[in-house]
Amino acid sequence: MIPNSIAVEEKVKPLHIKHIMEQIGLTDEDFEYYGKFTGKIRLEVMEKFKDRPDGKLIIVTAITPTPSGEGKTLTSIGLSQALNRIGKKAIVTLREPSLGPVFGIKGGATGGGKSQVIPSELINLHFNGDIHAVASAHNLLAALIDAHIHHGNELRIDVNNITWERTIDMNDRALRHIVIGLGGKVNGVPRESGFVITAASETMAILCMASSRTDLKRRLCDIVIGYDLDGKPVKAKDLKACGAMMVLLNEAIMPNLVQTTEHTPAIIHGGPFANIAHGTNSVIADKIALKLADYVVVETGFGSDLGAEKFFDIVAQIHRLKPSAAVIVVSAKAIRYHGGIKSQDDFTIEKFKKGLENLEFHVKNIRKFGVPAIVSINKFATDTEIEINLIQEKCAELGVECAVTEFFTKGGEGGIELAEKVVKITETIPSDFKPLYRLSLPLIEKIKLIATEVYGADDVYIERKAMKKLEKYIEHGYDHLPVCIAKTPNSISDNPKLIGVPKGWTLTVTDARLFAGAGFVVAICGDIMLMPGLSKNPAAFNMDVDEHGNIIGLF
């Protein structure tokens, strides 16, 4: 019988967070309690354990996402539980769910079945106030910009060249492009503006890229909010915004500790989207976890072309992290989708093998970074033996280890083989990790290299608007920054309708953003939106609260 996620959580008696702390060697001095089941790890822990050797860093990625989902969060949680079951001290580090997807397409984002992080309702909703703090800090800077202009504009900010927008943690397409300051002089100066979803905001990216409070303040001060009338960048420090933004982020910078359904420690911190931002939890969470565990399992968003590439080229390169292995999540359902199999009656071995080309593409992507790969076959009850065998045969052909996992129905027990293979690989095959490019490579060349090497594009076309912005960034000294490409997660290409492994296509860069504080340039490709919209039948329609205060339909 397939377990119900809510029923599983209701049967689990969560341990007081003090017991989870003790598992990883933390004391009351290292921790801020937020109730009985969660709290924040103080940053002083990094100094306290600085002389400890780091544990092994395992990233979890996947083949190209499909409407069914592949199970990256599930696998990340389940693998950490399985590692603990075989005697290894493991911690899973995850992003915080955004309310946009929670109430939009996905519903809850805390794993499922017997591999969840709990308490799921708290984590899925206002989890310790972090995203609220990020939005508040971001919008404070926006308010300071308009207040400065209203009171005389001493910095001579060009009101037609302000790049800093406001943010909200909800899918709301009506806020993408707006006009503010209407209603007369008392309400400010009229100008065009807009909103981005908080998970795609630069403030979120900064929180997750910062390595300390000092680094956080430096990055906040480096934010470019727009340009003055001479075309020179105006920064947050020019508006004297950094200190107040730090005040709002003072608690948010501390990582959150919770537990899984098997009481494995889980650190959940930050939530940048991977199709728009860089797609992984905070660097601080990873660095703390690496001092506290033998194995740290990190989920990276979407496929290897997005979350994994960005983790390797941006996060790991900037912060000198060295991944020991990468787990690529695949399912027979996803292979059917990429092979064009619309129903079981439509199944043929030839079509299924066509879908397996997508898995091969992602395995080869991981190898380009010098990181050992292993495939996790996320098994569903509807999978057939022939489908599982075909995936295993493909892995053997590629010379990559694989393991069938059943984390949803069996928890950590359903991934013992995967855990053992991960341990064996990390102990016998040294990682030769290297980023795809050096930071000294010209900005435009970085974009072209990612497009051709990681996406398989034949060429890159940069539209005039995007090129003018990129040239301006280069002119102002930002050529050395890594590139974060914003594109659809639903295809290796920039066209969400192209499944499998598209061939003979050109990546189109339509726009660009400078995230000077976060430390990267965003190249926006295709029709990707920085503010999503709700569907006709969003997950919100299925949610409610009963008379006893119990939340219904969050999964």
Residue 485 has φ and ψ, to the nearest 5°, of -90, 130
> Stretch 308-333: mean pLDDT, rounded?
97
Domain 136-243: CATH superfamily, name plus number: Domain 2, N(10)-formyltetrahydrofolate synthetase (3.30.1510.10)
Please tell me the distance from the alpha carbon of residue 266 to that of residue 80, in angstroms, as a whole number. 9
- When mean pLDDT is compared across 25-29, 92-96, 285-289, 534-538, the lowest value belongs to 534-538
| Inter-helix orientation angle 464-475/443-453, to 10° | 130
Q: Write the single-letter amino acid at 52.
A: R
pLDDT greater than 60 at residue 216: yes
Question: E-assigned strands of 3-130?
Answer: 31-33, 39-41, 56-62, 90-94, 111-112, 115-118
Please tell me the distance from the alpha carbon of residue 374 to that of residue 428, in angstroms, as a whole number. 14
3-state secondary structure 300-344: CCCCHHHHHHHHHHHHHHHHCCCEEEEEEEECHHHHHHHCCCCCH
- Identify the band that residue 424 occupies on the pLDDT scale cut at 50, 70 and 90: very high
pLDDT of residue 69: 78
pLDDT of residue 553: 83
Q: Residue 240 — left, alpha, or beta (φ > 0 → left; ψ -120 to 50 → alpha)?
A: left
3-state secondary structure at position 10: helix
> Stretch 409-433: mean pLDDT, rounded?
97
Q: What is the CATH number of domain 443-525?
A: 3.10.410.10
Please tell me the distance from the alpha carbon of residue 200 to that of residue 279, in angstroms, as a whole number. 9
Residue 234 has φ and ψ, to the nearest 5°, of -110, 130
Is 214 marked as binding a ligand? Answer: no
pLDDT greater than 80 at residue 155: yes
pLDDT of residue 1: 55
> Stretch 109-135: mean pLDDT, rounded?
93
**Highest mean pLDDT: which of 102-106, 465-469, 531-535?**
465-469
- Identify the band that residue 104 occupies on the pLDDT scale cut at 50, 70 and 90: confident
Contacts for 494-502: CB closer than 8 Å, 24+ residues apart? 494/455, 494/525, 494/526, 494/528, 495/526, 496/526, 499/64, 499/337, 499/338, 499/340, 499/358, 500/338, 500/339, 500/340, 500/354, 500/355, 500/357, 500/358, 501/357, 501/358, 501/360, 501/361, 501/456, 502/456
Q: How many Å from the N-terminal Cα to the C-terminal Cα in the chain?
A: 18
Reference 225, options 208, 210, 238; nearest CA is 238
**Both tokens assigned to 129:** 């106030």
Answer for the pair 54, 65: CB distance below 8 angstroms, yes or no.
no
pLDDT greater than 90 at residue 236: yes
pLDDT of residue 107: 64
**Both tokens assigned to 519:** 């430390």
Answer for the pair 241, 144: CB distance below 8 angstroms, yes or no.
yes
Please tell me the distance from the alpha carbon of residue 312 to that of residue 365, in angstroms, as a whole number. 11
Please tell me the distance from the alpha carbon of residue 521 to that of residue 289, in angstroms, as a whole number. 28
pLDDT greater than 70 at residue 543: yes
Reference 463, options 525, 530, 531; nearest CA is 525
CB count, 10 Å around CB of 147?
11
Reference 329, options 137, 510, 11, 71; nearest CA is 71
**Both tokens assigned to 521:** 């340039």
Q: Which residues contact 112 (CB under 8 A, 6 or more apart)?
A: 5, 74, 408, 555
pLDDT of residue 200: 94
- Identify the band that residue 70 occupies on the pLDDT scale cut at 50, 70 and 90: confident
Note if the bond before 119 is cis, omega within 30 degrees.
yes
pLDDT greater than 60 at residue 235: yes
| Inter-helix orientation angle 385-398/349-367, to 10° | 40
pLDDT of residue 106: 65
Is 69 marked as binding a ligand? Answer: yes
Is 67 marked as binding a ligand? Answer: yes
Reference 213, options 172, 254, 175; nearest CA is 254
- CA 500-273-528 angle, 5° bins: 60
Is 73 marked as binding a ligand? Answer: yes
Is 68 marked as binding a ligand? Answer: yes
Please tell me the distance from the alpha carbon of residue 552 to that of residue 546, in angstroms, as a whole number. 7
Reference 35, options 10, 16, 12, 9; nearest CA is 16
- Identify the band that residue 238 occupies on the pLDDT scale cut at 50, 70 and 90: very high
**Both tokens assigned to 158:** 């060009």
Q: What pTM, to 2 d.p., does this model score?
A: 0.95
Please tell me the distance from the alpha carbon of residue 385 to that of residue 380, in angstroms, as a whole number. 11
Please tell me the distance from the alpha carbon of residue 266 to that of residue 260, in angstroms, as a whole number. 7
The residue ranges of every structural domain in the chain are 136-243, 443-525
Answer for the pair 321, 327: CB distance below 8 angstroms, yes or no.
no
Is 493 marked as binding a ligand? Answer: no
- Identify the band that residue 379 occupies on the pLDDT scale cut at 50, 70 and 90: very high
Is 533 marked as binding a ligand? Answer: no
Average pLDDT of the chain to the nearest whole number:
95
Helix (H) or strand (E) holding 157: strand 157-162
